[in-house]
C-alpha cells in the first residue's frame, strides 16, 4: 500500500503595504470652540472573501444545492409514484380480466349481435361486411390476449417500480451524504447508481408503448418528473467529473465555472419548456427560480473570480460604530488582485483610506452635511448614498482619481461579519498577542487602532494587515469543515447588507441585483420606508446609541395613508470618555414613496451655521451631488430638506444628542391611495440600513369602514390592521387587499 503524501503547506498571500505621508482629514467634528477631542479613526476589518481561494469551496456548495434539488425531486415523488402507479396498474389488471371474460362470452355472437357492454368504433374502411367481420374477429381474438398480458405484466411492473424507486432514493441520499463529506468520488458513484435507477424506471414505463397515451394525468406528470430527474442527474454527473478533474489539477477554475454554467443553462432551458405546460407551472416555478439563482451565482463567480481575465476588487471595511449610509465609516481598504480563482496579491494601506487622500486629483465639493467636517469630497466619505451601486460608483471614481487602478468591483463589508465568523470558527490570536473573539471583535479593533494612532499617526490601521489574513483563513477553515454554516453566514450577511457587492460588468451587476446582493434600494410599488442615519463628526458613538423607530400608518376611507415616523436616539456614553463620551451629530434621511407630501416635522436641530466649513473656490461641484441639492427645497417651519432620489421622496434633517441624553425626531406625511371598485391593494416595505441594528415598532391601522379581505407577509394582520415589532436588520414587508364598505 502506497503512503499518502502530505499536502504542501499553503504559501502566504503577499501583502504590499503602501507608504503614507501627510496628515489626515478629520472625521470627528473638531469644534475648535466647543468640545474638541482628538478622535480615533478606526476601521474594522471585515473579512472575508474566502470565496476566491483555489479550493473555491462554494462550488461544491452550489453543486450540493443543485443536487439536493434533484434528490428532493425523487424523494417527494416516491409515495405518489407507488400509490398512483400501483392504483393504475391494479385498474389495468382488473380491466384486463374483465375484458377477457366478456370477450370469451361474446366471441360467438360478434357477427350478428351488438354488445351493449363493449362499444368498439369501426372506421369506414372496415364497414364492408367481410372486412368488418374479419376486423371484429381479429379484435375479438387479440383483445383477450392483450388483457391477459396486461394482467400478467402488472405485478412484475409494480415490483420493478417500487424496487427502482426505493433504490433510487437510497442512492440519492447517499449521494447527498457524500457531498456533505466532500467525498466527490463516492458522490459520483452514488449518482451513477441513482441515474441507473431512473433509467430503469423510464424503460419500465416505456414498455407500455402506446398505452402510455391513456395513462392518468398524475402518472403522466410523474413520467415527466422522471425525465427532469434524469436531466438533473446527468448535469450533476458532468459537474462532478469536472470538479474531480479540478481537484486533480487537470482542469482549471475557469473550466469548472464554464462547465457549471453550461450545464445549468441547459437544464434551465429544458425545465422552461416543461414548465410552459400549464399543469407543471405551480410545481416547477420555484425550481426554475432556484436554477435562475444558480445561474446568477455562477455569473457573479465567473466575473469576480477572474476566471476569464484578471480582476481588481476593492474591499471597503465599514465601521457600524460610526454609521454611514451603506453601513459605516469607510476607514480601511484592501485591494485584491484576482486571477483564475486565486488571490494573487493583497494591498492594505496601513493608514487606511487616508493614505490616498493626498493623491486625490479630483477637487470636488462634498455633500452639504459633510461640510461640518470637510467641504472636500474624499474617498472615505464616498459611501454617502444608501443605494450601494451609487456609492460604489463614486468610490470607484475617487479611487481611480488617486492613481489607483480601474476597479472591476467594490465589496463593502461591515464589522458584524467578523463577529459572525468568529462566533462559529472560534477566536483569533495574532502574533503580537492580540486576541479577537466574537464578543470583543469591534471594540478590540477600535481600541488597537486608537492606541496605534497615538504612537504613529501615519499607520493607525496597520493591525488590519495582520488581522485581515487571519480572519480570511478562519473563514476558509470554516468553509472546509462546516460548509453549511459558512453558507448560512454568507446568506445572512447578504440579507442584512453586511456584504454588498458592485460590479462594473452590467450582466454581473444585474445578476447581483436579482440575488439581492447589490445593496440597491428596493424598487417597489406601494408604501415604503427606509430610515438612514449618517454620523458626521460624532466619533464612534453609534456603538453606545440605541435607535428606535416607531412607524404608524393610518389608512383612511377617503383613500389616503396618514403616516407618522418617530425616531428616538438614546446616547449611553459617559462624559469624559475620549472615544464614546462625546456629542453625536447625525444627518437623518427618511426615504418614502415619491408622491408623499410632508405635513409636519419636529424635534430636529440643525447645527449652528458657523460650524460648517465653506468650500474654497478651488473646489468644483460634484455632478451627482449638485443635481440633488439644486432640486432640494426646505420646509420653512422645521428646516427639513425635501428632494427626490431614485424614485423616492427624501426628508432630511439633523438629530444631535449628548451623552446621557435622548432626542426624538418626528415626521408626518400623507400618501394618496387609489380605489378600484371600492377595493384597495395595500403593500408596505420597510428596508433596513446596512450596519444599523435599529429596533422598530410598526403599526398599520384601518378606518372602521375598511375591511380586510386577505393579508400576508411578516407581522400580524388583524381586523383592525397590522403590526410588527422587532430588530430591523433585514427588509420586512406585508400586503393586504382591503374593501371599502
Three cell numbers written together for 493: 450577511
The CA-based dihedral angle spanning residues 493, 498, 504, 509, taken in that order and rounded to the nearest 10 degrees = 40
pLDDT at 535: 98
DSSP type of residue 387: S
Backbone angles phi, psi at 659, to 5 degrees: -55, 135
The answer on pLDDT for 429 being more than 70 is: yes
* Mean pLDDT value across residues 119-131: 45
The answer on pLDDT for 386 being more than 80 is: yes
Backbone angles phi, psi at 646, to 5 degrees: 50, 45
Q: Scan for cell 410588527, then name that residue.
A: 724
3-state secondary structure of 555: strand
3-state secondary structure of 351: coil
β-sheet with 641-645: strand ranges across: 633-634, 641-645, 648-657, 584-593, 527-535, 679-686, 732-740, 706-713
pLDDT at 96: 45
For residues 732 and 88, which has the higher predicted lDDT (pLDDT)? 732
What lies within 8 Å, CB to CB, of 664 at 6+ separation is 566, 567, 568, 569, 603
For residue 409, give the nearest of 521, 506, 323, 326 by alpha carbon.
Answer: 506
What is d(CA 205, CA 217) in angstroms, rounded to the nearest whole number? 14
Longest dimension (CA), the chain: 120
For residue 723, the cross-strand partners are 699, 716
For residue 331, give the nearest of 36, 87, 41 by alpha carbon.
Answer: 41
Using CA atoms, how far residue 109 sits from 106, 119, 137, 175, 678, in Å, is: 5, 14, 10, 60, 70
* Mean pLDDT value across residues 246-271: 63
The answer on pLDDT for 247 being more than 60 is: no
Q: Poorest-confidence range of 290-294, 332-336, 564-568? A: 290-294
pLDDT at 358: 76
Backbone angles phi, psi at 28, to 5 degrees: -110, 130
pLDDT at 60: 45
Whole-prediction pTM: 0.72
DSSP type of residue 361: -
pLDDT at 342: 87
- 146-204 pLDDT, tens digit per residue, is 444 444 444 455 555 555 555 555 655 565 565 555 565 665 565 566 556 556 656 66
Q: What angle do CA 420, 473, 332 make, to 5 degrees?
A: 70
3-state secondary structure of 484: helix
What lies within 8 Å, CB to CB, of 174 at 6+ separation is 186, 190
**Number of Cα atoms under 13 Å in the Cβ half of residue 262:** 10
- 19-61 pLDDT, tens digit per residue, is 444 444 444 554 443 443 333 333 333 343 344 344 434 444 4
Domains, the chain, in order of start with CATH, read: 15-53+306-515 (3.40.630), 58-271 (no CATH), 527-604+640-740 (2.60.40)
Amino acid at each position: 500500500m502506497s503512503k499518502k503524501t502530505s499536502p504542501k503547506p499553503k504559501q502566504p498571500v503577499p501583502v504590499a503595504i503602501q507608504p503614507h505621508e501627510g496628515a489626515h482629514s478629520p472625521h470627528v467634528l473638531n469644534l475648535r470652540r466647543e468640545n474638541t477631542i482628538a478622535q480615533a479613526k478606526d476601521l474594522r476589518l471585515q473579512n472575508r472573501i474566502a470565496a476566491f481561494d483555489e479550493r473555491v469551496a462554494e462550488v461544491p456548495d452550489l453543486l450540493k444545492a443543485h443536487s439536493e434539488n434533484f434528490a428532493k425531486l425523487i424523494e417527494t415523488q416516491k409515495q405518489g409514484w407507488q400509490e398512483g402507479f400501483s392504483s393504475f396498474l391494479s385498474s389495468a389488471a382488473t380491466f384486463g380480466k374483465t375484458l377477457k371474460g366478456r370477450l370469451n362470452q361474446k366471441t360467438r355472437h360478434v357477427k350478428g349481435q351488438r354488445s351493449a357492454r363493449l362499444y368498439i368504433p369501426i372506421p369506414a374502411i372496415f364497414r364492408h361486411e367481410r372486412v368488418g367481420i374479419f376486423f371484429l374477429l381479429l379484435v375479438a381474438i387479440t383483445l383477450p390476449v392483450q388483457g391477459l398480458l396486461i394482467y400478467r405484466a402488472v405485478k412484475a411492473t409494480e415490483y420493478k417500480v417500487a424496487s427502482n424507486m426505493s433504490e433510487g432514493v437510497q442512492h440519492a441520499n447517499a449521494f447527498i451524504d457524500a457531498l456533505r463529506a466532500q467525498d466527490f468520488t463516492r458522490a459520483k458513484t452514488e449518482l451513477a447508481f441513482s441515474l441507473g435507477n431512473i433509467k430503469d424506471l423510464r424503460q419500465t414505463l416505456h414498455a407500455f408503448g402506446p398505452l402510455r397515451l391513456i395513462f392518468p394525468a398524475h402518472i403522466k406528470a410523474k413520467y415527466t418528473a422522471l425525465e427532469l430527474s434524469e436531466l438533473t442527474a446527468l448535469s450533476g454527473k458532468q459537474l462532478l467529473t469536472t470538479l474531480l478533474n479540478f481537484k486533480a489539477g487537470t482542469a482549471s477554475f475557469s473550466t469548472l465555472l464554464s462547465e457549471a454554467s453550461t450545464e445549468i443553462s441547459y437544464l434551465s432551458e429544458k425545465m422552461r419548456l416543461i414548465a410552459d405546460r400549464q399543469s407543471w407551472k405551480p410545481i416547477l416555478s420555484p425550481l426554475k427560480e432556484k436554477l435562475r439563482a444558480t445561474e446568477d451565482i455562477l455569473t457573479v463567480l465567473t466575473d469576480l473570480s477572474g476566471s476569464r481575465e484578471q480582476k481588481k476588487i476593492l474591499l471597503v471595511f465599514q465601521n457600524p460604530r460610526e454609521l454611514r449610509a451603506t453601513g459605516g465609516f469607510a476607514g480601511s481598504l484592501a485591494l485584491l488582485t484576482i486571477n483564475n480563482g486565486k488571490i494573487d496579491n493583497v494591498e492594505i494601506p496601513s493608514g487606511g483610506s487616508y493614505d490616498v487622500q493626498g493623491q486625490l486629483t479630483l477637487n470636488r465639493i462634498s455633500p452639504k452635511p459633510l461640510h461640518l467636517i470637510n467641504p472636500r469630497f474624499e474617498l472615505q466619505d464616498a459611501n454617502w448614498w444608501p443605494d450601494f451601486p451609487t456609492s460604489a460608483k463614486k468610490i470607484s471614481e475617487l479611487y481611480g482619481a488617486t492613481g489607483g487602478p480601474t476597479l472591476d468591483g467594490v465589496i463593502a463589508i461591515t464589522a458584524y461579519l467578523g463577529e459572525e465568523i468568529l462566533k462559529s470558527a472560534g477566536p483569533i490570536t495574532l502574533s503580537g498577542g492580540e486576541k479577537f473573539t466574537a464578543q470583543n471583535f469591534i471594540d478590540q479593533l477600535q481600541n488597537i487602532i486608537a492606541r496605534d494612532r497615538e504612537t504613529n499617526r501615519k499607520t493607525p490601521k496597520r493591525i488590519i494587515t495582520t488581522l485581515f489574513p487571519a480572519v480570511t483563513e478562519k473563514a476558509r477553515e470554516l468553509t472546509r469543515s462546516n460548509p453549511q454554516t459558512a453558507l448560512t453566514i454568507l446568506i445572512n450577511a447578504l440579507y442584512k447588507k453586511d456584504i454588498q457587492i458592485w460590479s462594473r460588468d452590467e450582466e454581473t451587476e444585474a445578476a447581483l441585483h436579482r440575488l439581492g446582493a447589490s445593496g440597491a434600494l428596493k424598487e417597489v410599488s406601494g408604501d415604503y420606508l427606509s430610515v438612514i442615519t449618517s454620523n458626521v463628526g460624532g466619533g464612534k458613538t453609534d456603538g453606545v446609541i440605541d435607535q428606535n423607530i416607531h412607524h404608524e400608518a393610518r389608512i383612511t376611507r377617503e383613500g389616503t395613508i396618514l403616516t407618522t415616523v418617530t425616531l428616538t436616539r438614546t446616547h449611553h456614553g459617559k462624559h469624559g470618555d475620549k472615544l464614546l463620551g462625546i456629542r453625536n451629530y447625525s444627518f437623518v434621511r427618511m426615504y418614502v414613496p415619491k408622491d408623499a407630501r410632508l405635513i409636519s416635522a419636529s424635534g430636529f436641530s440643525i447645527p449652528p451655521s458657523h460650524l460648517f466649513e465653506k468650500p474654497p473656490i478651488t473646489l468644483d461641484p460634484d455632478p451627482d451631488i449638485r443635481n440633488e441639492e439644486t432640486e432640494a427645497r426646505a420646509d420653512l417651519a422645521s428646516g427639513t430638506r425635501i428632494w427626490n432620489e431614485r424614485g423616492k421622496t427624501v426628508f432630511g434633517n439633523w438629530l444631535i444628542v449628548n451623552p446621557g441624553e435622548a432626542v426624538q425626531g418626528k415626521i408626518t406625511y400623507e400618501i394618496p391611495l387609489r380605489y378600484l371598485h371600492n377595493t384597495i391593494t395595500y403593500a408596505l416595505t420597510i428596508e433596513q440600513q446596512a450596519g444599523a441594528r435599529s429596533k422598530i415598532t410598526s403599526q398599520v391601522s384601518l378606518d372602521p369602514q375598511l375591511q380586510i379581505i386577505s393579508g400576508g407577509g411578516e407581522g400580524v394582520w388583524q381586523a383592525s390592521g397590522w403590526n410588527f415589532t422587532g430588530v430591523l436588520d433585514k427588509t420586512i414587508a406585508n400586503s393586504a387587499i382591503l374593501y371599502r364598505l
